[in-house]
Structure 1
Amino acid sequence: MSTRAYSLVVAAALLWSGFALGQEPQGPLVEVVQPQRTLVRDELITFGSLRSDESVTIRPEIEGRVSRLHFREGQAVSGGDLLVSLDDAIARAELAQARANLDLAEKNYQRAQMLFKRGASNAQALDEAQSQQQAARASLALSQARLEKTQIRAPYDGVLGLRQISVGDYVEAGQDIVNLEVLDPLKVDFRVPQKAVGQIELGQVVELSLDAYPGEVFRGEIVALNPRLDEVGRSQAVRAQVGNGDHRLKPGQFVKVSVILAERPQALVIPEEAVMPLGSKLLVNLVVDGKVELREIQVGRRDRGRVEVNAGLSGDETLISAGWQKVKPGMAVRSKPAGEGA
C-alpha cells in the first residue's frame, strides 16, 4: 500500500471513530458581536469664526486734548459709564457766553412786547426780537451739546480692549480710543455649501469645538441665514449664537462647527467590519443555533467604524464581526465575543 493510500485510510478511521463516540467535527472559530442601541446624529461639519455679539471702537465726535481716562484696559463697563474726559475749558466758556446772550435776548423780547402793546413799536421790531431770542436758545443748546461731547461714555455693557491714547494726547474727531466688545453671547459665523442649504433652518442646534479646549463641546443655535448665496463659492452665510457667561471663548477664534440636522436616540448600530458587500446588496452573517445564516440589511449613517442599520435587524441577533470570510450559510461555527482571546 502506498503512503498516500495509507494516510487516507487512517483519516477515515479517525473520522469514523469520532462519529462512533458521538462527537461532531468542530467548525471554524469566528468573533461575534451584538447590535447596540445608541444615539446617532445626522450632522453637517464645517468651520467658522467667533465674533462679538456687539463690537464698537470708541471715538470722539469732537477734537480736543485728553484730560482724564476713567477706565482700565480689559475692564468690564456698563452702558453710560464715563470713559474719557476731554479738556472742557473752552466748551464751558462758550456755554456761559450763550447763557448771557440768551438772557439779553429774552429781556429785549420782553421790552419789544411791552412797546408793541403801548403802540410805541411796530410788528417788525417785535418779530426781530423774538427771532433773536430763538437764535440765542439754539446757541445755548449747541453749547451744551459741545460740552457733553467732551465726556465720552460707553454706549452699552461690555468689556474694553486696549487703549490707543494717553492723557495729554490731542485727539481728532473720529480717532480710535479703545474697542468695546460684548462677549456674552457670542456670534458664530460660518458657511454651508449650496447642496446643504435646504437642510439648514433657524433654531437648529450647533456644537462647537476648538483647539484651545480639546474634548469640550459648546452648544448654540442658528439665529440668522443670509438669503443670498455667495456667487463665487456658491455657499450660504449662516450665523449662530453661543452662550459665553464665563468668557472662556474669545472673538476671532477659529472653531469647528457641527450642525445637528437630526437625532435618533435609539438607533441600531453594528461594527462596520460585520457588513459584507455583495454586488448592490449589503449582508451580515448571523449565528443562529450554532450555524451561519445570511441576512440582507439596509444601512444609514456611517461614523467612526460604526454603521446604522435601518432595516433587516431587530437588535437581538448575534453577528459575525471577524472571520465571516471563511464561512458560508448553513455551516456550523464556533464563536467567541469580539476582542476576547481564543
Structure 2
Amino acid sequence: MIKRMLLMLIALALVFGGIFGWKYYTAMLMQQRMASMKPPPSTVTTYEAEATTWQPELHAVGSLQAVRGVSVSPEVAGRVIDIRFQSGRRVRKGELLVALNTSTEEAELDRLQAQKDLAETQLRRVRELRSKNQTSQAEVDQAAAEVETLSAQIARERTIIDKMNIRAPFSGVVGIRKVDLGQYVSPGTDLVNLQALQPLYVDFTLPQQNLRHIREGMPVELTVDTYPDRTFRGEITALDPRVAQSTRNFAVRATLENKEKRLRPGMFADVAVQLPEQREVVTLPKTAITSQPYGDSVFVVQEKKGPDGKPVKTVTKRFVRTGDRRGSQVAVSEGVSAGETVVTSGQLKLREGARIKVNNEVRPDSNPSPTPPNK
C-alpha cells in the first residue's frame, strides 16, 4: 500500500514538473524574442546646421517717448462752456480744444475800452490847451500815461480771454478727455493728453564699457510685446554726455519712424544696437534646443549600416552652449558644427541611439528676421 502511494506521488510530481517546466521554457523563449525585437523608428523633422554671418548686437530695455507730448491744461481758472475735441482723434496745431466762460472778462474789456476812449478824448483836449499855453506839460504827460495804462490793461485782458480758449500747441492725437461741460477748472488742471506719434524716441541705457562702441547714426532694432513678430528700426540720434554715478550706465536716445502709428509712448521695448563688426556663427532653429536644469542639448543625426547592410539613421544626444537669439534662430558656440544634422521636432520620443525616420514636409521655421503672415 505504501509502495503504491509513493509511486503515485512520484508520477504526479513528474507530471506537474513537466507542465511547469514547459511553461517556464515557453516563457523564457517569449522573453528572449521580445528582447530581440526593436521599437519602430520615430518620425522627426531635421535641420542642417549652417554657418551664418551675424552682426554683434548690444541689448537693452528701452522706453518709448513722444517727440512732443503734453498734458493740456489751462493757464487761468474758469468754467467750461464748450468742448470741441473727441477722445482719441487727431487734432491740428492751433485747433480749439476747450473754451472757458469769458463773459466776465469781456465785460471788463468793454469797461476798459470805454475808459480808454474817454482818456484819449481827454488827452486831445489837454494837448490842444497846451498848444495855446493854457496848461502845463505835466498835465499832458499825465493824460498820455493814463491812455498807455489803459492800453496795457486792455492788452492784458485780451490775453486772458485768449488763454481761456485752450488750443492744441501742436498737431497730434488727443487721449481720453478728463473734463466735462460746466466743470470749474483751475490753472494746471489736466484736461486731456496730447501726443505726437510720429516720429518716436526710444530711450535706453548701456553699461559704460560699451561707450566706445556707440556712435550717433548707428542702426537699432526693437520689438515690443504687443507685436512679437514685428521688428521696428531706427537709428541713434543722441548720447548723454555723462555716466550715471549710481549705475555707471549712460543714456542713449534713438529715433524711429512710426508711420503706421502702431507704437505708443510709454511702451517698453527690447532694443538691439547693431555694431559694425561681423562674425561667423553656427545657427539652429530654436525648436532644436532642449533646455533642462543641467544644460541645453540637441539630438544629432547619425547614419550607419544595420544588420541587413542597409543604412539606418539614429540619434545621439549632445550638450551645447547657446548664444544670441534672433527671430526663430539661435547661435550655438559649442557642441554642433556646420553641416551636422539635428532633430528639430519629435525629441520627446527619442533616447540615445534611437532609430528615426525623417519627414521634412512640414518643419519648424528657421528665420532670423521673421515677418507676420499677413505681410
Q: Same fold (TM over 0.5)?
A: yes
Aligned to 2:242: 228
Going from structure 1 to structure 2, the CA distance change for 1:225 and 1:121 (only over 3 Å counts) comes to same
Query: Structure 2 residue aligned with 1:66, among 80, 85, 95?
Result: 80
Q: Retained in 2: the 8 A contact 1:43–1:262? A: no
C-alpha distance in structure 2 between counterparts of 1:225 and 1:152, whole Å: 35
The answer as to 2:113 corresponding to 1:87 is no
Q: CA deviation at 1:269?
A: 4.9
Name the SS of the counterpart of 2:196 in structure 1.
strand
Going from structure 1 to structure 2, the CA distance change for 1:271 and 1:111 (only over 3 Å counts) comes to closer
The answer as to 2:196 corresponding to 1:170 is no
Name the SS of the counterpart of 2:150 in structure 1.
helix
Aligned to 2:134: 120
Correspondence list, 1:109-148, <5 A: 109-148=123-162
Name the SS of the counterpart of 1:148 in structure 2.
helix
Q: Retained in 2: the 8 A contact 1:39–1:263? A: no
Amino acid at match of 2:231: V
Q: CA deviation at 1:144?
A: 1.1
C-alpha distance in structure 1 between counterparts of 2:102 and 2:50, whole Å: 78
Q: Retained in 2: the 8 A contact 1:35–1:268? A: no
C-alpha distance in structure 1 between counterparts of 2:338 and 2:83, whole Å: 73
Amino acid at match of 2:140: L
Q: Retained in 1: the 8 A contact 2:49–2:340? A: no
C-alpha distance in structure 1 between counterparts of 2:338 and 2:156, whole Å: 85
Going from structure 1 to structure 2, the CA distance change for 1:64 and 1:269 (only over 3 Å counts) comes to closer
Q: CA deviation at 1:87?
A: 0.5
Going from structure 1 to structure 2, the CA distance change for 1:61 and 1:302 (only over 3 Å counts) comes to closer
Query: Structure 2 residue aligned with 1:240, among 242, 254, 258?
Result: 254
Aligned to 1:216: 230
Q: CA deviation at 1:145?
A: 1.0
In the TM superposition, what whole-angstrom CA distance separates every residue of 1:46-67 from its partner, at most 9, and x where no partner exists?
1111111111111111111000
The answer as to 2:64 corresponding to 1:50 is yes
Name the SS of the counterpart of 2:263 in structure 1.
coil
Q: CA deviation at 1:35?
A: 6.7
In the TM superposition, what whole-angstrom CA distance separates every residue of 1:112-157 from its partner, at most 9, and x where no partner exists?
1100010111111111111111111111111211111110000000
Name the SS of the counterpart of 2:244 in structure 1.
coil
Gaps of 5+ in 1: 1-32, 273-300, 309-317, 323-338
Going from structure 1 to structure 2, the CA distance change for 1:176 and 1:43 (only over 3 Å counts) comes to same
In the TM superposition, what whole-angstrom CA distance separates every residue of 1:238-268 from its partner, at most 9, and x where no partner exists?
111111111111111111100001154xx65
Query: Structure 2 residue aligned with 1:160, among 161, 174, 181?
Result: 174
Name the SS of the counterpart of 1:132 in structure 2.
helix
Q: CA deviation at 1:215?
A: 2.0
C-alpha distance in structure 2 between counterparts of 1:34 and 1:245, whole Å: 38
C-alpha distance in structure 2 between counterparts of 1:235 and 1:59, whole Å: 35
Going from structure 1 to structure 2, the CA distance change for 1:147 and 1:305 (only over 3 Å counts) comes to closer
Q: CA deviation at 1:190?
A: 0.6
C-alpha distance in structure 1 between counterparts of 2:339 and 2:146, whole Å: 100
In the TM superposition, what whole-angstrom CA distance separates every residue of 1:288-329 from its partner, at most 9, and x where no partner exists?
xxxxxxxxxxxxx96423569xxxxxxxxx97748xxxxxxx
In the TM superposition, what whole-angstrom CA distance separates every residue of 1:35-93 from its partner, at most 9, and x where no partner exists?
75x44201101111111111111111111100010001111101000000101111110
Runs of 4+, deviation exceeding 2 Å: 33-36, 267-272, 301-308, 318-322
Going from structure 1 to structure 2, the CA distance change for 1:319 and 1:121 (only over 3 Å counts) comes to closer
Aligned to 1:249: 263
Q: Retained in 2: the 8 A contact 1:271–1:321? A: no
Name the SS of the counterpart of 1:74 in structure 2.
coil
Amino acid at match of 2:261: H
Q: Retained in 1: the 8 A contact 2:281–2:331? A: no
Aligned to 1:187: 201
TM (normalized to structure 2)? 0.63
Q: Retained in 2: the 8 A contact 1:52–1:182? A: yes
Name the SS of the counterpart of 1:214 in structure 2.
strand
C-alpha distance in structure 2 between counterparts of 1:39 and 1:149, whole Å: 59
Aligned to 1:21: none
Amino acid at match of 2:80: V
The answer as to 2:331 corresponding to 1:305 is yes
Amino acid at match of 1:44: L
Gaps of 5+ in 2: 1-47, 285-321, 325-329, 342-356, 360-375
Instruction: State the identity as a percent.
Output: 37
Amino acid at match of 1:305: A
